[in-house]
Chains A and B, each alone.
Chain A
Amino acid sequence: MGLEQKTAQMGVVTTTLEQMVNWARTRSMWPMLFGLACCAIEMMAAQASSYDLSRFGMELMRASPRQSDLMIVAGRVSRKMAPVLRLLYDQMPEPKWVIAMGDCASCGGIFNNYAIVQGVDEVVPVDVYVAGCPPRPEGLIHGILTLHDKVQKEKLTKWA
C-alpha cells in the first residue's frame, strides 16, 4: 500500500495490462446506429440532453459498422431484416458486443407470429438483455453499465 501511494504522488500508477485494456474499451465504446422501431425513440431520448449517454463515452452513434464497437439492437427484427442484421454484425471489427434492447429484441416481445424473429439471439450472440417495452432511458443506461461490468472482467485472450 505504501509503495503505491508513494508512486501515485510522483504521478505513476501501476496496474495489469488486462485491466487497462478493459478500462479503455469500456470508457470509449462507440455504439452503432441500429434503431429499428419504438425502442429507437427511447435510445434517442437516452442520447439527448436529459439522460445523457455521452457522459459514458458514447458521444455519437456511428452509422458505419466498421467504426463501432457496440451494436444496440433497438426494436423488433422482422424475418426480412434478419440477414441484414447478421451482415452488419459480421462487418463490425472485433472486439464487439451486442445489447438486445427491449422485449422484442430479447424474446420476440408481444409479437409471437410469423413475421418477427423470436429473440435476436437467434441471429447474433447477445451479451446483455434489457427488458421493457420500451425500456426507460435509465433502463438502457443500466444495461450499458452492466455491459461495462462484464467487459471489465474479460480476459485478454477472449479477443486476442
Chain B
Amino acid sequence: MVMLREVSVDELRHLVSERALAGETMLLNMGPQHPSTHGVLRLLLELDGEIVINCIPDIGFLHTGVEKNMEAKTYQKAEVMTDRLDYLNPIGNNLVYCLAVEKLVGLDVPPRAQAIRVILAELTRIGSHLLWLGTSSLDLAAMSTFLYTMREREMILDIFEMCSGQRMMTTYVRPGGLWRDVPVEFEDAVRRFLDLMPRRIDEYERLLTTNELFLDRTRGIGVITADECIQWGISGPVARAAGLKYDLRKVRPYSGYEQYEFDIPTQQDGDVYSRYLVRVEEMRQSLRIIRQALDKLPYGPVRSNNRKFVPPPRSELGVSMEAVIHHFKLWTEGFSAPKESVYAAIESPRGELGVFLEGDGGPKPYRVHYVTPSFANLQIMPILTRNHFIADVVGIIGSIDIVLGDCDR
C-alpha cells in the first residue's frame, strides 16, 4: 500500500508562480474528499488572499485500470466493465463500445434496436442532467432542487429496471442490437414520463432561472471562448454554451439520429449561467426526440441475425444443430475480430465520448481506449478559475459536469 507523502511547493515549482516560492501566496489543498467536489478530485489552489491565481488539478484517485482489464477478457465479457466508467451514463458507454465493435466486425443492427437505443440514450441524458442540476445547485446552496430532481430520476431508473432488471448498470445494449426486447409496459411508462416531465422542468426553471441569488453566483463566472474550446478540444454543453454549434448527433449521426427532428441549444456567453441554460434546454429537446422515436417505433427483431457474433435464441437450440455449434463457440471462445483499428464516438451528456478499439484477430480486444469528455474538459480548470474567488471554484466545477469515473477510467 502506498503511503501518503506531503507535496512540497518545490515539486510543483514549474507550475506555480514565483510568488508562491517566496511564500507570498498560499497553496491550498482542496483535497480528494470535500463536500463540493463531484467525486474524488484534488485541486491545488494557489491563493492570493481569496483570489485564485492558479489551479492545478490532481486526478487519478479513481483509476480503475479498466483498459488493461478489458484486454484480458473477451469482447462480450469486457462490455460489463464499460458501464462503470461514466456511471451517470451507463447506456452511453455500452452504446459507444457496441458501435465500435459493430464497426470492427461489420455487424448490422435492425431498426427497432436502433430506435430503442435512441430512446434509452436520451432517457439517460435526461437522468444525467437531472443529477447534474440537483448536485450543482446543491453546491450553490439551492437544496430543494436536489430532492425534486432525484424524484424524477427515480422514474427513469424504474424504466431501466423494467427493461433489464438493474437500475443503473444495465449492460442492455449488446453488439448487434439489444439484450432482449422491451416489455409490454415500456411504452406506457415512457409516455407517462413524457407527459409529466415538461411541467417539472418548468418548475426547476421557476426556482432558478430568474433567481437573483443564482444569477449573482453564476453570471460572468468561469468564462471560456469558442476559440479556446477548439484549441483545447472541449465538446459538449461547455462548448455549446460558448457558441460552438457542435453536437455529434447532428454532425456525425449514429444509430438513426438523422430521422429525428430536434434543435441544438447554444448560448454566446460561455459562463456558468449559459451552461445551465444549455443543459435545461437539452432536456426539453431530449423529450422531443423520445416522443418521435416512440411514435415511429418499428416492429421487428431487436438483435442481428448474424449467428457468428450474436448467440441464437434458446428456442432454436432444441431444433438446429448449427445453432448449438454457434452457441458453443460463442460461449467458450467468443467471436474474433480482424487485425484493424476503429474509432467510434457518441454525444454523451458531457461531450464527445469515443472508443478507439484495436483487434488482433483473436477473441479479446488488443487495445481499448476510451476518449472521455471529462478528461478533456478538466484540463481547462486553470483557465476557468483564474482571478475568481474560492467560492466560485465550487460553482465552476459543478458547471463543467465532470464525472471522475469518466476522467480516470
A contact set with B: CB distance below 8 Å: 33-38, 40-42, 44-45, 48-50, 63, 75-76, 78-84, 87-88, 110-117, 122-123, 133-134, 136
Contacts and interface: CB of A to CB of B under 8 A. Distances in A.
B367 to A, nearest CB: 16
Contact of A49 (B1, B63, B64, B151): B151
Contacts of A83: 1-4
Contacts of A37: 39, 62, 84, 87, 404-405
B56 interface: no
Of all A-B residue pairs in the complex, the 7 with the closest CB atoms, nearest first, are A48-B150, A63-B35, A115-B65, A38-B87, A83-B4, A113-B65, A81-B61
B2 A78 contact: no
B153 A33 contact: no
The interface residues of chain B, by DSSP majority, are classed as: loop
B87 A41 contact: yes
22 contacts: A37-B62, A38-B168, A40-B39, A45-B153, A48-B151, A49-B147, A63-B34, A76-B62, A78-B60, A79-B1, A80-B2, A81-B32, A81-B62, A83-B4, A84-B61, A110-B81, A111-B81, A113-B68, A122-B1, A133-B169, A134-B167, A134-B168
Nearest to A50: B154
B69 interface: yes
A127 to B, nearest CB: 20
Contact of A111 (B4, B64, B135, B147): B64
Nearest to A33: B35
Contacts of B40: 36, 81
A48 B80 CA distance: 28
Contacts of A136: 167
Given A44-B150, A50-B154, A76-B62, A134 B169 contact: yes
Contacts of B335: none
Contact of B33 (A33, A48, A80): A33
Contact of A113 (B69, B131, B153): B69
Given A45-B150, A50-B154, A36 B62 contact: yes
A50 to B, nearest CB: 5
Contacts of B131: 41, 44
A63 B33 CA distance: 8
Given A38-B168, A38-B405, A136-B167, A76 B3 contact: no
Interface of B: 1-4, 31-35, 39-40, 60-66, 68-69, 80-81, 84, 87-88, 131, 135, 146-147, 150-151, 153-154, 157, 167-169, 404-405, 408
B49 to A, nearest CB: 24
B63 A110 contact: no
B63 A115 contact: yes
A78 B1 contact: no
A111 B65 contact: yes
The interface residues of chain A, by DSSP majority, are classed as: loop
Contacts of B35: 33, 63
A55 B150 CA distance: 17
A45 to B, nearest CB: 6
Contacts of A45: 150, 153-154, 157
Contacts of A116: 64-65
A44 B167 CA distance: 14
Contacts of B168: 38, 41-42, 134
A50 B150 contact: yes
Contacts of B80: 110
Nearest to B32: A84
Contacts of B64: 76, 78, 111, 113, 115-116
A81 to B, nearest CB: 4
A75 B147 CA distance: 22
A49 B143 CA distance: 12
Given A44-B135, A44-B150, 11 more contacts: A36-B39, A37-B39, A38-B84, A45-B150, A50-B150, A50-B154, A83-B3, A84-B33, A88-B33, A115-B63, A134-B169
B244 to A, nearest CB: 29
A78 B61 contact: yes
Contacts of B147: 48-49
Nearest to B34: A63
Contacts of B404: 37
Contacts of A40: 39
A68 B4 CA distance: 23
A49 B65 contact: no
A102 to B, nearest CB: 11
A36 B87 CA distance: 11
A123 B84 contact: no
A41 B80 CA distance: 18
B150 A38 contact: no
A136 B165 CA distance: 11
Contacts of A115: 63-65
A34 B150 CA distance: 19
Contacts of A123: 1
